[in-house]
Each structure stands twice: as C-alpha cells, then as structure tokens.
Chains A and B, each alone.
Chain A
Amino acid sequence: MSESDFPSLRLVPKAREPQKAKDFKTDQEVRWCPGCGDYAILAAVQSFMPELGIARENTVFVSGIGCSSRFPYYMNTYGMHSIHGRAPAIATGLASSRQDLSVWVVTGDGDGLSIGGNHLIHALRRNVNLKILLFNNRIYGLTKGQYSPTSELGKITKSTPFGSLDAPFNPLSLALGADATFVARSIDSDRKHLTSVLRAAAAHRGSAFVEIYQNCNIFNDEAFEPLKDPATRDDFTIRLEDGAPIRWGANAEHGLYRSPGNGLVAGEVAEQGEAGLLVHDPHNDDPSHAFELSRLADISLARTPIGVFRAVDRPVYDDMMSDQLDKARATQGEGDLATLLAGSDTWTID
C-alpha cells in the first residue's frame, strides 16, 4: 500500500525515511506469559506500523490496565499506560486536541467492557479519531483468573466456583449499538487477517473498533480453538469480504441466505444456489446488516464472522471540534484578551 491509501492520516506528518518493524520495538523485556496470544498481536502491529508511512513520534498508544494494557511499553512510539478502563477518555482528550497524531487504544474485555464500558461507548458514538484494539480473551488474566464480561454463562472460575451468573456481552453488537462507524474482528493467530483488519482500521477516519480474539493460555486456554483447529476452523469461521457473497467452509460450500422471515439462515450453496447468497456490504448506512452478522455466532463460536463488519463515514469529533475553532476565528477574529477582560460594562475611577 502507498501513503495515499491512508487519507485518514492526512494530518499526520510523514515518516522521514521508510521504517521497519524493528524500529517499533523497545528495549523493554516483554513480560507476558510464554505462549500468550498478545505476542502475536504485538508482532503483527509492529510489522504493520511501517506501512502507515507516518512519523513514529506522531504515533501514540494509550492503554488502561490489564495484560493487554502493557502493550504501549513495547511500542517504540509515544505511549501511556494509564488506569483501569480510562484509556478511551484519555485518548479522546489527546486526539481531539492533537489532530497531527495517530492515536491507538489498547484494551481488553475487562478494561474496555467492564470498568471502562462507559468511556468505550461514548468514544464510539462521538466518532473520535481513535483506533481501539480490544483483546478479548474472555477472562481476567492479570488478576489471575476471574470471569470477565465476555465469559460464557456458567463459567467456573476462581470467583465463580459454582458457575458465573452473568450473561456475556457481545462486543461487536455493543459497538454497533453505540453507533460505531468502524467495527471489525480478527484472531491473534491469523497474522495475515489481523494485518488486513488493522490496515482497514487505520484507513478509517473516525473511531475504529477492532475485537481481537486472543488466547490466554494460562487462565482460559483454547477459548477460540474451534477457529484455529484445522479440523474445525473452516466450518466455524466466516471471512467477510467487502462486496462478496458470504460463504465459508473448506470449499466455500456453506452460504448465508435471507430467510422468508427476513432473518439470516445458513445453507448449503450446492442446494440453494449462488444467486440468493447474501452479499456483504460494510458501507451500508443502516447498521442492521452488520448487527445481524454480529449476532450470528453463538458462544460455541460456530459461524463466527471475522473481518470488517461495518465501515461508514460520519463526521469525526476531532474534526468538528477543530472546525468550530477555525470558524470562530474566521468570523470573529482572533481572540483579544484585553477586550475579553474588559467586557461591556465598565467604569473608571481616577
């Protein structure tokens, strides 16, 4: 891809020279557990960043608290490891006051959906120019294994020895409900797919929400195994492609159709034909299509779509904020402090 593929970054200064993945690595020892899915995501992000062609010093990673939130320490950019759940709020202040920055938020299912759920939905509805990567491992890792807001009902954990009573959040449905303009999902182990989703997120101007299924091999190992195991993955994974009919399986033998009741129904292409296949359109202004897709998979992960669910244009918060300032200066002139302080009702004492 060339620089022109990222018009979303037009306000960010370009890199003075081409960069490599190693330029984005820091000298800090990476301290995730051996075998953690975070390593793969870190490697994917580090190798993808040079593609953006922007100055490294104008890139900022902001995170909250949790295993995933250690991410900024390992990126040789500017970065802030903040407090639990607040990264979207902090990043909103940074992005909306500095349009020359590419601001990324790294969060997890506990950080982003539990303690920080409010900030996440409000950043998305405002459409702040943030790229939000939510590492979903369906467990609390850093606090050593309690159920998270994406854990399945009945999950046995340290804090739920008799099974969790909480119905899980569907992160993509939540993001779509908050009117997110860009919603996507990928998997830690699929470097190529993850990179393609990061690329699409970076190309989007406004909030981009990317859920990344991430394996916690210590407290919730193999949570996404059906999507990884060669025996099952083709039947479980639906790869969404812009403008293409939605079909999957080793030989693309399954397809998605509209049922007579107007819901979605899976069928065999050999039986139902190609003509009736549902075509994926992430640019549809109506979020219903993306929402339907987000509801397709159940907790067993059967029929899990990955890829870009939704990518639509809507005015960006930072742009509008900046426009208001420019407009005020254009119509009223630059502010004059002495005039402001004097106001309109004064009197003078000699």
Chain B
Amino acid sequence: MVAMSKDVRQLDRVIIRFAGDSGDGMQLTGDRFTTETASFGNDLSTLPDFPAEIRAPAGTLPGVSAFQLHFADHDIMTPGDRPDVLVAMNPAALKANLEDLPRGADLIVNTDEFSKRNLTKVGYEANPLDDGSLEAYNVHPIGLTSMTVEALKEFSITKKEAERAKNMFALGLLSWLYNRPTEGTLKFLEVKFAKNEQIMRANIAAFNAGWNFGETTEDFSVSYEIKPARLPSGTYRNISGNLALAYGLVAASKQTGLPLFLGSYPITPASDILHELSKHKRFGVRTFQAEDEIAAVGAALGAAYGGSLAVTSTSGPGLALKAETVGLGVSLELPLIVVDVQRAGPSTGMPTKTEQADLLQAMFGRNGEAPVPIVAPRSPADCFETALEAARIATTYRVPVILLSDGYLANGSEPWRIPAVEDLPDLTVEFTTEPNRPDGEFWPYLRDATTLARPWAVPGTAGLEHRIGGIEKADGTGNISYDAANHDLMVRTRQAKVDGIAATIPPTDVEDPDGLARVLVLGWGSTYGPIGAACRRVRREGLSVAQAHLRHLNPFPSDLGDVLRRYDRVLVPEMNLGQLAMLVRARFLVDAISYNRVRGMPFKAEELASVITGVIEEVNEQ
C-alpha cells in the first residue's frame, strides 16, 4: 500500500513511543513497527520498557507497558530521549509517559478508554482530553477500540476478540503515517494466527482499517517519509542483544570446534538466551534447564570438564548464587562463560529494568583471590562479537569469563551488519592428548609458558587420567598441597594468567575527532550509545570531548592508564554508584569524576550532554 492522496513530508529522524496496558500488545506492536522500519533500511534503536508483572491490574500505572523506537536516515546511537509521537492506549499510559513528551509532540490517544472509571483509577480528577491540560501537544483523539470493533463487525468473533485487535489498528495507522512497508506485518499475522483463520483475518482487517483511517481522516494532513540510512554496505538485519548473544555463542561453538552446552535457570531478563539456544539442536547445542542457578553453572562446569564450550546465563541474583562454582572454575582452570544480563538490584530489585551495578560483583564476588576476566558488550548487536571474545579468552586461558550484558541491551534492538562466517575469528581448540613430561607423565597443572594456561585433557583420553579439585594444588602436578609457598605461588600465578590476557586485547579505542579534547568520557557496557550521542551533541556546540569505551573490564587494556592521564579530566557515567570509577581510581590513581543514575532506564543523551558540557566548562576555566 502506498499513501497517495496526501502530502508526504521528509524527516531525518523520528522517535515513537507506543504505550498501553500490559495486555494491550504494545511490545508486539513495537516489534512489528521495528521490523517494518528495519526492512525499509532506516537505522534504528529500540527500548522496550515493561513491568515485571505479567498482567498487572488493568488500567493502572504499574501495568503500563511501553516500547520506544528511534529511527533515522542516518546513523543513530540511542533509542532517543523524548518521543516525537506518543501513542497512549489508556489514561494510565498517558499519565505514565506524558512527562517525557516535549512540547509540540504528536499525541495519539485512544479516547474509548478515557472513561470516568479509568481516569479515576490513575488519579485524574478531570479528563485531560477536555480540560486543556494537553494544549502544548498536537493531540489526535481517536476511538481506536470502537473503530476496530466497527471494522470487524462482519467477523464471527467476540467483541472482546475484536477489541484485542486495536493494537493492529494503531499499528496500521502509524504505518501509514510513516510510510512503512506492510508486507512483512501481513505475512507475520498470517503465520501467527495460522491456527485461527477468523482471528487472523480480523487482525489483518484491523491493520488495514488503521492504515485506511490515516489516509482518509482529516486529523492527519500529511504523512512522513524517513529515507533509508546510508550505513556501511552489507546485508543487515535487526537484532536484539539476547538474540545476538545467543548467535555469538553458536558461532563460538563452530569457531572453537566444541559442542555448546548451556546450563541455565529461568531469570528475567536473561531467559531469552535459554529459549533461543534451545531451538538450535541441529547445531549440536545442548541446553539444560537446571533446578536452580547453582546446578545451572555446576552442569556447565561439568560439561566444560568433558570438553564442551560451556555457558551459563543468568542475571545478578543468579550470579550471586553461582559465585562458589565460578570460584571452583577459577581453581580447576576450566573454560566457562558466565553471562550476566544485569538488572536493577539489590536482591530482586526491578527485574525488567536495566542497571550496570554487577561490575564489582563480577570482579570480586567470590571467596579468596579468584580473578575472572570480564567483558561487556556496548550495544545489542555488539553482544555477538563480545560472546566470541568471551569464548576466546575462556578457551585460551582455561578460565571462567563473565560477560556483563544488561536489560537494555538484552531487549533493545538495532540493525546489525551480518558478518560473513569466513571472517569470524578462528578459535580452534586443541585438547591435550599426550603426556607433557619427559618421563612420560602427565601433569595437569604444567602451564603453557606464554598464556600460563594449563592443559585441557578431557576424560576419555588414555594415559592422561588425573584428578582435579577445589583444594589447593601443587604447582605442576596438581596434587593436593597445603604448602605455604606453593599456595602463594598459585594465587599469584592465577592472577598473572588473567593479567596476561591484556597482551591480546586491542589498545583503548579513543574517539577524539579534533584531538583538542581535555575531557575524556569513559564508559562501559550499554552506556556507549547515550555517551556517544551526548558527545556528538557537545561537539555540535563547538566543544571538544573525547570518548573511550571499554569492552574489557578485567584486565583493562594495557594502555588505559596512559590514556586516562592524557586528559585533564576523566568523566565516568555509569548506571551504578561509581563502580568503574572506583576501579580506575584504585588502579591508576586518576581523579575520575563519576556521574551516576540508577533509574532503571538508559541515560538520556541530552542529560549527559549537559553534564559533559559542565565538566568541559569547568576545565576551561582552570
């Protein structure tokens, strides 16, 4: 379908937020709009934001579920600060999201839900659609529910079923408004509702009704077009962080030549990794849904002992439970990938909200000196490469590696330039199959001189039978040892092994376009987008600022101390209370400034830009 009858206006970027009740299908609507947008070739970034409750009481503020999408004709870095368009399916959705809406934004409201009862439920004394309180916005009051029901009256479905299709009406309307291709959505509905033809046809009819409404109503005088983005050439797809992470693990299995084993216990927001990997049995992927977090990592460690590429996936509370087993992995010196999709803590915290407050848990959350390499992806698509890097470190150094993703990366999505399989790194692993001593003995803790890794000899290898355990081992033989000097040596050796990884990681990547910056913004993990977008804003104002973003949190890149000392000020924005800042201050004696917010949401670029500008001005005054 192409909108022919109205003017089409060009835009370079748009931020849309769909908001409704948990049961209104807002995540599905957002996903579909995203897929349409991706297939059109825009750059995009998404931010799903939903409550932990599956169905909170209908029409209440805690039950509001939202999906924000930022898309553009150029390269963008974040899901956007403030929506240009808010679709509010009920009063709760309006109330919960209005604060973020800039003046002049378009506000599409489902008037059918603005009953006195629903208004009262969220504390509106008067109907905001009537009392002038929305004057600052471009309000489009539309009876989305009633028009959907009207459009579907020919179908032999219940009124409730018809009402449920209102999200497709809204999607149709927005698809018209932004000239999105619709074939994908129509095909999607055909597949999704293949088992119930009436429902399938009703949803398609609702979608078409929404599109046609846009074309005919006088409420929308123009539609918009956002040209495809000029991204580097290649084949692209849209991908979320959890999906990219799962694919990265499958790829790592192929590149290492080791069968993949995932031990996992369901936990928000990491469960999708378990769901995804459980589909890929044809790749030889074994997934084990364990009885608890401890068994999940235990089974993974057992599989690692047997020669699998072993992974456990969890979130912060689960990482706490796995700590002892990760420590065992440090002592056994077996490869293990521990994925922590961080969420707001402490304790249960806010399971569906993002945070990056597990860095120090990952660094230090074990008994004894138990160093563990840590890597963190910077964007949803980057989860793919980071998973491969975790596998490289784990298998090369025979050590558990913690990969710190977060809820925003896990559920957010962006276009991903699909890599050619032949360009993926060769991670081939060779097990030890021969004795490693001149006398024909095998010593399980005789180390590689360069990596300090011990041999990986798996059960089934004749002549290399050996026992390993969590008790301190004698250097070389691996036999039980309580010798004081030996323990001191082993503790230092395990640390030196992890420190030595720094020799194989790239130098700190600093973006300092004019080379004049006196302030460096240092980040890690999912803040890459907001920090990058903020730096762009600051530079557009004529100021100079440098950005460095760490993928490796332990060990740091070898040159990090030098890099930090080159700048007059180092600013570290984090979604925690200053964990990376604490590490760099301790390690490098650099007087880094922290900027911290723990609101369960990504930073806004605008907010960070003003913080950065403030620091630059302060430095310039000195």
Chain A residues within CB distance 8 Å of chain B: 13, 26, 28, 55-60, 62, 65, 72-73, 75-83, 86, 89-98, 100-101, 118-119, 122, 321, 324-325, 327-329, 332-335, 337-338, 340-343, 345-350
Q: Which residues of A contact B419 (CB under 8 A)?
A: 341
Is B368 close to A, CB under 8 A?
Answer: no
Which of B39, B230, B306, B471 has most A Cβ within 10 Å?
Answer: B306
A335 to B247, CA, bound (A): 12
State whether B295 touches A82 (Cβ < 8 A).
Answer: no
A93 to B236, CA, bound (A): 36
State whether A86 touches B298 (Cβ < 8 A).
Answer: yes
26 A-B pairs with CB atoms under 8 Å apart are: A26-B467, A56-B462, A60-B459, A75-B467, A79-B468, A80-B469, A81-B469, A83-B328, A90-B299, A90-B302, A92-B288, A92-B298, A93-B288, A95-B302, A97-B306, A97-B308, A321-B286, A332-B282, A334-B282, A335-B283, A340-B247, A343-B237, A345-B35, A348-B234, A349-B230, A349-B234
Q: Which residues of A contact B35 (CB under 8 A)?
A: 345
State whether B41 touches A349 (Cβ < 8 A).
Answer: yes
Chain B residues within CB distance 8 Å of chain A: 35, 38-41, 184, 228, 230-238, 247, 250-251, 254, 259, 261, 263, 280-286, 288, 290-292, 294-295, 298-308, 310, 324-325, 328, 332, 418-421, 459-471, 479-480
State whether A349 touches B283 (Cβ < 8 A).
Answer: no
State whether B467 touches A72 (Cβ < 8 A).
Answer: yes
What's the minimum C-beta distance from B33 to chain A, rounded to whole angstroms? 13
With A73-B467, A89-B295, A341-B418 already in contact, the answer to whether A98 and B237 are too (CB < 8 A) is: no
A188 to B237, CA, bound (A): 63
Q: Which one, A57, A62, A82, A95, contacts B462 given CB within 8 A?
A: A57
What's the minimum C-beta distance from A88 to chain B, rounded to whole angstroms? 8
User: Which partner residue on chain B sits nearest A26 by CB separation?
Assistant: B467
User: Which partner residue on chain B sits nearest A119 by CB separation?
Assistant: B295
5 more A-B residue pairs beyond the given contacts A80-B302, A118-B291, with a C-beta to C-beta distance below 8 A:
A73-B467, A93-B304, A325-B282, A338-B421, A346-B418
Q: Which residues of B contact A76 (CB under 8 A)?
A: 465
A341 to B328, CA, bound (A): 34
State whether A93 touches B303 (Cβ < 8 A).
Answer: yes
With A57-B465, A89-B299, A97-B259 already in contact, the answer to whether A335 and B460 are too (CB < 8 A) is: no
State whether A58 touches B288 (Cβ < 8 A).
Answer: no
Q: Which residues of B contact A80 (CB under 8 A)?
A: 302, 305, 332, 467-469
State whether A86 touches B286 (Cβ < 8 A).
Answer: no
A320 to B464, CA, bound (A): 30
- 8 closest A-B pairs by beta carbon, nearest first, are A81-B469, A93-B299, A93-B302, A89-B298, A335-B283, A328-B281, A89-B295, A94-B302
User: Which partner residue on chain A sits nearest B416 by CB separation?
Assistant: A341
Q: Which residues of B contact A59 (CB under 8 A)?
A: 459
Q: Which residues of B contact A78 (CB under 8 A)?
A: 459, 465-467
Q: Which one, A13, A82, A119, A334, contacts B469 given CB within 8 A?
A: A82
Q: Which one, B238, B295, B464, contacts A86 given CB within 8 A?
A: B295
Q: Which residues of A contact B41 (CB under 8 A)?
A: 347, 349
What's the minimum C-beta distance from A179 to chain B, rounded to whole angstroms? 14
With A348-B235, A350-B233 already in contact, the answer to whether A94 and B295 are too (CB < 8 A) is: no
User: Which partner residue on chain B sits nearest A97 by CB separation?
Assistant: B303
User: Which partner residue on chain A sits nearest B422 by CB separation?
Assistant: A338
A103 to B433, CA, bound (A): 21
Q: Which residues of A contact B291 (CB under 8 A)?
A: 89, 118-119, 122
A345 to B188, CA, bound (A): 11
A86 to B312, CA, bound (A): 15
What's the minimum C-beta distance from B194 to chain A, rounded to whole angstroms? 16
State whether A96 touches B288 (Cβ < 8 A).
Answer: yes
Q: Which one, B294, B420, B469, contacts A89 given CB within 8 A?
A: B294
What's the minimum C-beta distance from B216 to chain A, rounded to whole angstroms? 30
What's the minimum C-beta distance from B305 to chain A, rounded to whole angstroms? 6
What's the minimum C-beta distance from B295 to chain A, rounded to whole angstroms? 4
Q: Which residues of B contact A101 (CB under 8 A)?
A: 306, 459-460
Q: Which one, B280, B300, B461, contacts A340 given CB within 8 A?
A: B280
Q: Which residues of B contact A329 (CB under 8 A)?
A: 281-282
Q: Which residues of B contact A119 (CB under 8 A)?
A: 291, 294-295, 298
What's the minimum C-beta distance from B133 to chain A, rounded to whole angstroms? 41
Q: Which residues of B contact A343 (CB under 8 A)?
A: 237
State whether B295 touches A28 (Cβ < 8 A).
Answer: no
Q: Which one, B281, B307, B421, B464, contacts A341 given CB within 8 A?
A: B421
With A325-B284, A341-B421, A345-B38 already in contact, the answer to whether A89 and B290 are too (CB < 8 A) is: yes
Q: Which one, A56, A73, A83, A342, contacts B237 given CB within 8 A?
A: A342
With A57-B463, A118-B292 already in contact, the answer to whether A325 and B286 are too (CB < 8 A) is: yes
Q: Which residues of A contact B40 (CB under 8 A)?
A: 347
State whether B295 touches A98 (Cβ < 8 A).
Answer: no
Q: Which residues of B contact A73 (CB under 8 A)?
A: 467, 469, 480
User: Which partner residue on chain A sits nearest B332 by CB separation?
Assistant: A80
Q: Which one, A90, A96, A349, contacts B236 given CB within 8 A?
A: A349
What's the minimum C-beta distance from B61 to chain A, rounded to whole angstroms? 34
Q: Which one, A65, A93, A321, A347, contacts B235 given CB within 8 A?
A: A347
Q: Which residues of A contact B251 (CB under 8 A)?
A: 337, 341
What's the minimum C-beta distance from A112 to chain B, rounded to whole angstroms? 14
A57 to B421, CA, bound (A): 36
What's the minimum C-beta distance from B117 to chain A, rounded to whole angstroms? 41
State whether B294 touches A86 (Cβ < 8 A).
Answer: yes
With A76-B465, A91-B302 already in contact, the answer to whether A118 and B295 are too (CB < 8 A) is: yes
Q: Which residues of B contact A81 (CB under 8 A)?
A: 467-471
What's the minimum C-beta distance from A121 to chain B, rounded to whole angstroms? 8
A342 to B238, CA, bound (A): 10
A334 to B284, CA, bound (A): 9
What's the minimum C-beta distance from B315 to chain A, rounded to whole angstroms? 19
With A92-B288, A122-B291 already in contact, the answer to whether A346 and B235 are too (CB < 8 A) is: yes
Q: Which one, B305, B310, B325, B418, contacts A342 given CB within 8 A?
A: B418
A324 to B288, CA, bound (A): 12
User: Which partner residue on chain A sits nearest B263 by CB separation?
Assistant: A93
What's the minimum C-beta distance from B419 to chain A, rounded to whole angstroms? 7
